[in-house]
Chain A
Amino acid sequence: MGETVELDRLTMRFGDFTAVRNVDLTIQAGEFFSFLGPSGCGKTTILRCISGFIEPSEGRVLIGGRDMKGIGPNLRPTALIFQNLALFPLMSVADNIAFGLEVRGVGRAERRKRAEELLDLIALPDSADKRIAELSGGQKQRVAIARALAVEPKVMLLDEPLSALDLKLRQHMRAELRAIQRRTGVTFIYITHDQGEAFTMSDRVAVMSRGSIEQVGKPADIYDRPQSEFAATFVGENNRFEGALAALDGADGVVETNVGALRGRVVGDGLKPGDRAVLYVRPERLALANGGADAANRISARVTHADFEGAFANVFLRDAQGRALILQLANDGNLPALDTGAELRLGFASAQAIIVPPGERARE
């Protein structure tokens, strides 16, 4: 079973550069937790602090309530899966898997038995005596997982291990990782810049930017209620309207934009009337309002081009102020003509939009 991992005011500096800034976080035992962020946001640094390859400049890492200060990576109850897997090419598959047992002084026969059990678990029987070079990408992936599981870690750390695989295999491995995590009950901490990976596998996700955590929550919370501009723009596509906050009305707010007043839910803290504010609405939450549907907000825009994907269509538009917008229409069999230059009237309910204070946005 897994253990909790607590990060207590964790800060990591390399010279003048602060890679991780004051991170406070508790990851529950048996949780599948992901750190999601662009490269250079500090997520790998956090992982290396937890695994013990670097000591934090300030703050503490606690695993199962025990302070890990001064405990080397070989003595921590963690197992790390590297981005490039780092399998030992000169050892057989079985020796790779049993390496952690070998260093713990487990006898040869017992090691062999455990390796074969784990090979069954990862659905790779009869591969014990193969060389690493004989395996495919997905098989190597599984051997790396088995090698990490062999030492019965309390916490499994995964550093973008799927990034080298092709799309099909990646999607398959997501399900497999999730299944293995459920079966073993080990705490999984997963690092990725791919929101699809983070969302499909994780119980909770932390969105990171510039060494700080922007938001922690369930995948649906992160997607539906991003609490900062960064979270709103890094995760998924979004349409952005900036203006002054005209009024607050309970949980709702009205932003006076250059295409009119738009109403949404205020999720960012500390916004007062008169402040600059930004309203975001997802492409699939925009609806066609040609039939005069009852929507709180209305905009009109012209089509620049449309990509028909089959189940849905992505429509790229510009509004009266030249702002680029994106609309995702589900294909219900009645898609309107989406010719370039066609004018569409769009609407969305206030519950579908969020209002946050202006801040840093994720770069495309």
Chain B
Amino acid sequence: MSELLRRYGLPLTTAMTLATLVWVVMMVVLPYFVMVEYSFHRNLTVTEIGGPRDVYTLENYASLFRGTDLTAWEFSDDFRVFLRTIWGSALVTFVCLVVCYPVAYYLALGTSKERAAFMLVLLVIPFWINEILRTFAWFILLAYNGPLNAVLQGMGIIDAPVRWLSGSGGVIIGMTYAFLLFMMFPLYNAIETLDRNQVEAARDLGASTWRVHWRVVVPHAKPGVAVGCIMVFVLAASSYIVPYLLGSPGTRWFTQTIYEWFFEASDWPRGAAYAFILLGLCVAFIMVMMRVFKVGLTDIAK
């Protein structure tokens, strides 16, 4: 603060501080505050406002679990969607990790810097196209009479067309594609800082390829793995457009449930409560990853 004062003088410092404050309050604090407030209200009619039912309550949060009986293995519809979102996002995260690790390793240590840069650009180019268009392209690719089935049939790998879009398969494929780079870059950045000599030293001491990765490369890449997993999981869990386009009625995502409570049931308090439950899930995942990979916030910020 004193540094700012010394450099820019009082008027400019005041202006900048105020602008930042306004931005933070208006754009960050207030909207969240309003939604938090909403989430603890009942969805009241106009006449009920100010009446005896207009009190703070946890009902909206509890309603996610209502009708769920774990002992009987019964779940409410919304809770089932919530669980599917967790499971699906975790699966997308895992698939992204498995797909990206070899590529990131190759780009970081297996090829020259120039070629790696060139290939990274090639990887990025498709992402200059709008996410909706890219997702829609997958909708076409995966269609029952689409090119993927045609190619697989032509090659004799499958006898009859596969309904890719009727289960969760389409959503998982689409999300893996959509969020691939959010895994690729943290992994690449982490592996890239590994001294090649470490890999050679491990090899020279007799380690097999598998063990070189397990004992040297992966431990070094841990912060990158953690960041990539966090990014992909959070993006997948909060994705709306991919499940909307590539999902089927049986594979709704929790974001769709939230949308429906807001705009189809017009129950904003419950929609807000669900949104915070999703936020809580993401925060919990981040904390679990930090604990599992023993990385701190500073490692992740890198």
Which residues of A come within 8 Å of B, CB atoms?
51, 53, 72-75, 78-80, 82-84, 86-88, 90-91, 99-100, 102-104, 147-148, 151
Closest to B216 in A: A88
Contact assessment for B204 and A84 in the assembled complex, using a CB-CB cutoff below 8 Å? no
A103 and B200 contact, Cβ closer than 8 Å, known pairs A90-B219, A90-B220: no
| A74 touches which of B195, B197, B204, B215 (Cβ 8 Å) | B204
Q: Is the beta-carbon distance between A80 and B215 smaller than 8 angstroms?
A: no
Contacts of A75 in B (CB 8 A): 206
Q: Sample 26 A-B pairs with CB under 8 A, ordered by A number.
A: A51-B204, A53-B200, A72-B203, A73-B203, A74-B203, A74-B204, A74-B205, A74-B206, A74-B207, A79-B204, A80-B204, A84-B197, A86-B200, A86-B201, A88-B198, A88-B201, A88-B215, A99-B202, A99-B205, A100-B205, A103-B205, A103-B207, A103-B211, A147-B205, A148-B205, A151-B205
Determine the interface band of chain B, counting residues with CB < 8 A from chain A: 10 to 19
Q: What chain A residues lie within 8 Å of B216 (beta carbons)?
A: 88
* Chain B residues, Cβ within 8 Å of A88: 198, 201-202, 215-216
Give the residue of A72, A86, A99, A147 whose beta carbon is less than 8 angstroms from that of B215: A99
Rounded to whole angstroms, the CA-CA distance of A147 and B197 in the bound complex is 14
Inter-chain CA distance A121–B242, complex, in Å, is: 62
Known contacts A84-B195, A99-B215, A104 near B206 by CB under 8 Å: yes
The 5 nearest A-B residue pairs measured at CB: A86-B197, A100-B205, A86-B201, A103-B207, A80-B204
Please report the C-alpha to C-alpha distance between residue A100 and residue B202 in the assembled complex, in whole angstroms: 8
A103-B206 in contact given A82-B197, A86-B198, A86-B201 (Cβ < 8 Å): yes
When chains A and B are docked, how far (Å) is the Cα of A251 from the Cα of B216? 59
- Contact check, B205 vs A79: say whether CB atoms are below 8 A apart: yes
Nearest A residue to B211 by beta-carbon distance?
A: A103
Q: How far is the CB of B200 from chain A (nearest CB, A)?
A: 6
Within the assembled complex, what's the spacing in Å between the Cα atoms of A99 and B202? 8
Q: Which of A82, A83, A86, A151 has most chain B Cβ within 10 Å?
A: A86
Q: Is the Cβ of A80 less than 8 Å from the Cβ of B200?
A: yes
A79 to B195, CA, bound (A): 18
Closest-CB distance, B185 to chain A (whole angstroms): 22
Residues of B within 8 A of A53 (CB): 200, 203-204
Give the Cβ gap from B204 to chain A, nearest Cβ, in Å. Answer: 5
Residue ID in chain B nearest A80 by CB atoms: B204
Distance between Cα atoms of A82 and B197 in the complex (Å): 7
Answer yes or no: B145 CB below 8 A from chain A CBs.
no
* C-alpha gap A151/B201 in the complex (Å): 12
B200 touches A82 (CB 8 A): yes
In the complex, the chain A residue whose C-beta lies closest to that of B200 is A53
Most buried by B among A51, A74, A80: A74
- Indicate the member of A72, A78, A87, A103 with the most B CB atoms within 10 Å: A103
In the complex, residue of chain B having the shortest beta-carbon distance to the beta carbon of A157 = B204
Residue of B nearest to A98 (CB): B205
| A100 adjacent to B206 (CB under 8 Å) | yes
- B208, B211, B215, B220 — which one has the most chain A CB atoms within 10 A of its CB? B215
A74-B208, A103-B208, A103-B211 are contacts. A86–B203 as well, Cβ < 8 Å?
Answer: no
On chain B, the residues within 8 Å of A148 by CB distance are: 205
A188 CB to nearest B CB, Å: 15
**Closest-CB distance, A193 to chain B (whole angstroms):** 19
B197 touches A73 (CB 8 A): no
Interface residues of B in 129-148 (CB under 8 A from A): none
Residues of A with C-beta under 8 A to B195 = 84, 86
Chain B residues closer than 8 Å to A87, beta-carbon distance: 201
Q: Which residues on B sit within 8 Å (CB–CB) of A82?
A: 197, 200-201
Residues in B neighbouring A73, C-beta threshold 8 A: 200, 203-204
Cα distance, A53 to B197, chains bound together (Å): 11
Instruction: Provide the bound-state CA to CA distance between A320 and B204, in Å.
Output: 58
Q: Which of B197, B203, B204, B215 has the most CB of A within 10 A?
A: B204
Residues of A within 8 A of B211 (CB): 103
Chain A hits for B205, CB < 8 A: 74, 79, 99-100, 103, 147-148, 151
Task: Please report the C-alpha to C-alpha distance between residue A87 and residue B216 in the assembled complex, in whole angstroms.
Answer: 10
Closest chain B residue to A90 by CB distance?
B219
* CB-CB contacts below 8 Å: B201-247 with A: 201-208, 211, 215-216, 219-220
CA gap between A82 and B195 in the complex, in Å: 11
